[in-house]
Amino acid sequence: FSVMEATDAYLDRIERFNPELNAYITITRDSAKAQAVDIDNRIRKGELSGPMAGVPYALKDLFCSEGVRTTCASNMLSNFISPYDAHVAAKLKAAGGVLLGKNNMDEFAMGSSNETSAFGNVRNPWDTDKVPGGSSGGGAATIAARLAPMTLGTDTGGSIRQPASFCNITGIKPTYGRISRYGMIAFASSLDQCGPMAPSAEDCAITMNVISGLDSRDSTSVDRAVPDYTATLNDSIEGLKIGLPKEFFSAGLDAKVGDVIERAIKEFEAKGAIIKEVSLPNSHLAVPVYYVVAPAECSSNLSRFDGVRFGHRCEDPKDLTDLYERSRWEGFGAEVKRRIMIGTYALSAGYYDAYYLKAQQVRRLIKQDFDTAFADVDVIMGPSCPTTAFGIGAKKDDPIAMYLEDLYTIPVSLAGLPGMTFPVGFAADGLPVGIQLVGNYFEEARMLNIAHQYQ
C-alpha cells in the first residue's frame, strides 16, 4: 500500500477516537497529506528508502516542529508556532516519516497523569475512566489506540516508562546524552531525555537508529558510535544476569502489580536468565532529591517565558513588573507554579547549600548504588510503577501521592541510566502492567534485545 493510504488510515482513526481520548493537541492533517504525496513520489523515483520512509508518527507537544503549533500543553505557549525543527523532528522528517500531529501531555511535562494539561486530560484507551499516566500520556494513549505507529516522548523522572506501563506499550528512555535535546522544550535539563514509544521493542529500535547520536547543538549529547539497534534483537539471552532490587519489591508495591512482574521474571528464568537479588539502599531518597533538583532546574528554564521573549502576554500591562507577573500568572497552571516556587526557594541565597547542593550529593550516592549493582548483574528489572492506571481525578489534588508514582523510575533518571518499559501482562483488575528494565550506560541495544526476546 502507498504512504498516502497508510497516512489516511491513521488520520481516520484519529478523527474517530481522538474526540474521546484527547491524545492529540494538534492534528497536522493537511501537511501530513502533502508529505505523504511527496514521499510516495520520492519512493517511486528511488530517491528515498529505509525503514522510516513513509512511516506516520507523532511527537509529544514539547518538540519544536517547524511551522506547527508547539504548546507544551500550556496556555503560556498555546499559539506558539515554532520556526524550526527539534533535532529529532528533523531526523524523522529527513528519514521520510510523516508527522500526524502533536500529542497531549502534562503541562511542561510536569505530572504523572496527564491531568495538568491546559488542553484537558487524556483518557486511557484500556479503560476510559482511568488516566493514561504522564507526562507522555497523550503519546501512550496514541500508541495503545493505534492512532500512530510510533511517537516520541520525553522522560525526566519516568514520563515515558510510567505511561507505557499504564497503556500496555513499549517505551525507552535512553542514557542521558544518547539523543540530542536541541529543540526539546526544557523542563529539568540534567534529567530530560527523549525516547521512542511504540507497540514493540523492534519499533523502538528502528526509531533509535534514526534519532540517536551526536549533535553539536546540545553540549550534553555524547560522541559515541550509534550501533544498529535492530541487529542484535534476536540474540540469545541465555546466561543473562538479572538483578532484582529488593527495595522495588517492598511494601509500596501493589500486590496485583507484583504478581504480574514475578510471573514475567519466571519466564525470563525459563529462557535461561539467572536471577539475583541486588540492593539500591539509597533509592528511597530519590523522590525527595528529584523534587529539589527538577523544580530548581525548571525554575531557571521557565524564566524565559516572561511575555517578552516567549509566551503569553497579558492585556494592558501597567508597567514591566505587572507585565511579567500577570503574563506568568495567566500563562502557567497550578503544578508549574508550584514547581517554580519550590525551585526558586531551593536556589535562593542561603538555601542553595542546604537543598540543591545536598540533593546533588545524594544524587551521586544513588548513582553509586547502581554502579555497585551493575558489578554483579547485567541488567536490573522491577516494576515501572507501584500501581496500575488509577482513576481520573483520584490523585489530582494530592501532589505527594502523585509524586510517589515515580518511586521506581526516578532513581534511574537521577543516575542518567537507560530505562525501558515493555508490556508483560494484565493485573487482576484487568489493567496492563509493564516491567521496567534498566541497563548500564549505553546498553540500549542489549535492553531492546531482552524486551524483544520476551515479546
Active-site residue set: 60, 135, 159
- Are 125 and 141 a contacting pair, CB within 8 Å? yes
- Name residues contacting ligand GLN, limited to 226-245 (CB under 6 A): none
Spacing of C-alpha 445 from chain mean position: 18
Using the contact rule CB under 6 A, the part of the chain among 110-118, 144-152, 275-283, 380-388 near ligand GLN is: 110-118
The minimum distance between CB 174 and ligand GLN, in angstroms, equals 14
Using the contact rule CB under 6 A, the part of the chain among 151-159, 203-211, 272-280, 281-289 near ligand GLN is: 151-159
Rg (CA), the chain: 21
Which position among 26, 74, 135, 151 is part of the footprint of ligand GLN (CB under 6 A)? 135
Q: Per rule CB under 6 A, is residue 61 in the interface with ligand GLN?
A: no
Using the contact rule CB under 6 A, the part of the chain among 38-46, 73-81, 156-164, 223-231 near ligand GLN is: 156-164
Q: Per rule CB under 6 A, is residue 156 in the interface with ligand GLN?
A: yes
Separation of alpha carbons 433 and 423, rounded Å: 6
The minimum distance between CB 155 and ligand GLN, in angstroms, equals 5
- Torsion angles phi and psi, residue 87, rounded to 5: -50, -50
Q: Which residue is nearest to ligand GLN (CB)?
A: 159
Separation of alpha carbons 84 and 210, rounded Å: 19
- Are 386 and 408 a contacting pair, CB within 8 Å? yes
The minimum distance between CB 170 and ligand GLN, in angstroms, equals 17
Encoded one letter per residue, x for contact with ligand GLN by CB under 6 A and - for no contact, window 172-191 reads ---------------x----
Which position among 158, 331, 382, 386 is part of the footprint of ligand GLN (CB under 6 A)? 158
- Are 366 and 143 a contacting pair, CB within 8 Å? no
- Torsion angles phi and psi, residue 280, rounded to 5: -120, 75
Locate 225 and state its grid cell. Answer: 558510535
Separation of alpha carbons 151 and 451, rounded Å: 18
Which position among 7, 18, 35, 112 is part of the footprint of ligand GLN (CB under 6 A)? 112
Using the contact rule CB under 6 A, the part of the chain among 61-69, 78-86, 155-163, 429-437 near ligand GLN is: 155-163
Residue 272 backbone class (left: φ over 0; alpha: ψ -120 to 50; beta: rest): left
DSSP SS3 for 272: coil
Task: Locate the DSSP E strands across 61-111.
Answer: 98-103
- Name residues contacting ligand GLN, limited to 366-425 (CB under 6 A): 406
Using the contact rule CB under 6 A, the part of the chain among 107-115, 365-373, 375-383, 391-399 near ligand GLN is: 107-115
Could you tell me which of 417, 296, 419 has the C-alpha nearest to residue 360? 296
Locate 284 and state its grid cell. Answer: 528511597
For ligand GLN, the closer CB: 40 or 155: 155
Which position among 25, 39, 48, 109 is part of the footprint of ligand GLN (CB under 6 A)? 109
Separation of alpha carbons 455 and 451, rounded Å: 6
Using the contact rule CB under 6 A, the part of the chain among 58-66, 106-114, 236-244, 428-436 near ligand GLN is: 106-114
The minimum distance between CB 111 and ligand GLN, in angstroms, equals 5
Q: Per rule CB under 6 A, is residue 155 in the interface with ligand GLN?
A: yes
Q: Per rule CB under 6 A, is residue 439 in the interface with ligand GLN?
A: no
Separation of alpha carbons 134 and 383, rounded Å: 16
Q: Per rule CB under 6 A, is residue 101 in the interface with ligand GLN?
A: no
- Are 389 and 132 a contacting pair, CB within 8 Å? yes
- Name residues contacting ligand GLN, limited to 256-295 (CB under 6 A): 294
Q: Per rule CB under 6 A, is residue 85 in the interface with ligand GLN?
A: no
Q: Per rule CB under 6 A, is residue 157 in the interface with ligand GLN?
A: yes
Q: Per rule CB under 6 A, is residue 140 in the interface with ligand GLN?
A: no
The minimum distance between CB 413 and ligand GLN, in angstroms, equals 7
# of chain residues touching ligand GLN (CB under 6 A):
13
Residue 109 backbone class (left: φ over 0; alpha: ψ -120 to 50; beta: rest): left
The minimum distance between CB 336 and ligand GLN, in angstroms, equals 10
Strand partners for 230: none
Q: Is the peptide bond before 74 cis (omega within 30 degrees of 0)?
A: no
Burial of 358 (0-12, 13-18, 19+ CB in 10 A): middle
DSSP SS3 for 417: coil
Q: Per rule CB under 6 A, is residue 110 in the interface with ligand GLN?
A: yes
End-to-end, the C-alpha distance of the chain in Å comes to: 27
For ligand GLN, the closer CB: 39 or 407: 407
For ligand GLN, the closer CB: 264 or 342: 342
Spacing of C-alpha 306 from chain mean position: 26
Binding site residues, ligand GLN, CB under 6 A: 109-112, 135, 155-159, 187, 294, 406
